[in-house]
Amino acid sequence: MKVGIEDICFYTANYVLDMAVLADVHGIEVEKFYQGIGQVEMSMAAPDEDIVTLAAAAAKPIVENHDMSQLRTVLVATESGIDQSKSAGVYVHNLLGLPSHCRVLEMKQACYSATSALQMACSLVARQPEQKVLVIATDIARYDLNSSGEPTQGCGAVAMLVGANPKLLEIEPVSGLFCEDVMDFWRPNYRSTALVDGKYSTKVYLRSLKQAWQDYQEQGGHSADTFSYFCYHQPFTRMAQKAHTHWLKQVKKELSAEAIEQQLEPSLVYNRRIGNSYTASMYIGLASLLDNTQENLDNKRIGLFSYGSGCVAEWFAAKVQPGYREYLRTAYHQQLLESRTAIDYPTYRRLYEFPNPTDGGDHQNPHETTGPFRLSAISQHKRLYEKTSS
C-alpha cells in the first residue's frame, strides 16, 4: 500500500514588497538581493493576518474539495507560535468547520517540524488506511530591522492532505536523519524576532545535509542516480542552490550548469517571490516543483532535504504518481501571487511595527486582508477570528 500526499495547496499574505525597495532604502545594489540571496519579493502579513489565518486559508481549498468525514488528525507545524499552551491548530480546526472526532496538535522544531508532521501522518495512515490526516505548515519569518536577516523575511502556509494510495506523491518509507545541539538560529520566548548566526547556520545546514544523506544510504535508501529532481529547505533560494552543489560533490556527480538548473530551478520559483516561510518553505518549494516543471513527472523520484536550525535534519524521497497533473492547483497558486498588492517602504514599516498588544485590553484590527479568514481582534488576552466574505 502506498501512503502519501493526495492534495497540496499553499497560501501567502496579500501584501508584497519588491526587494528593490529595501535595497534602495539601505543603499545596496539590488542584485545583492535578486542574485546574491536569490530573493525578488517578500510577502508581508497584514495586521489582521497571522499563522492561523494563513493556515486556514491554505487548507480551505482542500477541505472544500475532499470528503472530510474520515479526517482523524490535524497537525500544524510552526515556529511562530501564538500561545504557549493552546495549539494554533485548534483555531484552524474551528475556522474550517472540521469534524469534532479529531486529534489536533502543534509541532515545533524550527523549520523542520512540518516534515515530522508529514512522517507522523504517513504512519497514522499506514496503521489505519481508511483515515485522512491534514498537515499544515505555517509561519511568519521576522528579523530585526537593518539586520542581515531582514531581506530573508516572508510568510506563508502550505496544507497537505495525507492518505492511502495518493493521487500526487508517494512518500517512501526510508529516511536519513541527523540531530545536533547547536545555536545557529533561535528565538527566546521574550523576543518577537529571531536571532541567527548566518555563516554558522549555513555551515551547520550543509553538515546536516551530508550526515542525513549518509544515514539515508545506511538505512537502505535509493542511490543518487535514481533521483530526477530535488527540493531543499529554502531560508533563501540561493541556499538551496548551495545545498544541491554540496550534495553533488558528496555523491561525486559532475553535471553541467544547465543540468543542475533543470533539477532544482522549478522548486525555487514560488519561494523567490514569497521569501522565507520557515516550516512551509520546503513544501511551498515542492508545490512549485510540481507546478513549474515542464517535463511530465510521472513516476519520477524527488529527493527532499528538510532542515531545522538547532538542529534536526532529514533526507527522504517522494515518487510522483501517474496522472498527477490533473490534481495540481497551478492556476490558483499563480493567481495568488499575481493578485498581491505591492507596498512601499513606509507601508512595510507600518506592517512591521504594528503593535502586538499585551495589556489585556480590547484591540480591534483594521480589515486589510483579502483572504477568507482574519484576526479581527485581541481582547482580554483572547485572539478572536472570523470568516470574511472572500
pLDDT digit string (tens) for 338-355?
Answer: 999 999 999 999 999 999
pLDDT of 370 over the 70 cut: yes
Amino acid of residue 388: T
Q: Determine whether 254 is an active site residue.
A: no
The single residue of 6, 41, 49, 111 carrying the catalytic annotation is 111
Which pLDDT value is given to residue 36? 97
Q: Determine whether 368 is an active site residue.
A: no
- Which residues lie closer than 8 Å to 227 by C-beta, 6 or more apart? 301, 302, 303, 317
The answer to whether 89 and 71 are in contact (CB under 8 A) is: no
Which pLDDT value is given to residue 390? 59
Respond yes or no on whether the N-terminal peptide bond of residue 311 is cis (omega within 30° of 0). yes
Q: What angle do CA 297, 178, 321 make, to 5 degrees?
A: 15
Place 389 in a pLDDT band, splitting at 50, 70 and 90: confident
pLDDT digit string (tens) for 199-210?
Answer: 999 999 999 999
Q: Grid coordinates 535578486 are at which residue?
A: 34
Written as nine digits, the cell of 59 is 487548507
pLDDT of 136 over the 80 cut: yes
Establish how many alpha carbons lie within 13 A of residue 388's alpha carbon, considering only the half-sphere containing its beta carbon. Answer: 18
The single residue of 79, 106, 265, 368 carrying the catalytic annotation is 79
The single residue of 233, 311, 314, 368 carrying the catalytic annotation is 233
pLDDT digit string (tens) for 22-54?
Answer: 999 999 999 999 999 999 999 999 999 999 999
Q: What angle do CA 293, 298, 304 make, to 5 degrees?
A: 65
Name the average pLDDT for the chain: 97
pLDDT of 255 over the 90 cut: yes
Q: Determine whether 233 is an active site residue.
A: yes
- Which residues lie closer than 8 Å to 383 by C-beta, 6 or more apart? 50, 52, 82, 83, 91, 375
pTM tops 0.85: yes
- Considering Cα of 343, then 347, then 348, then 354, what sign does the dihedral take? negative
207-234 mean pLDDT: 98
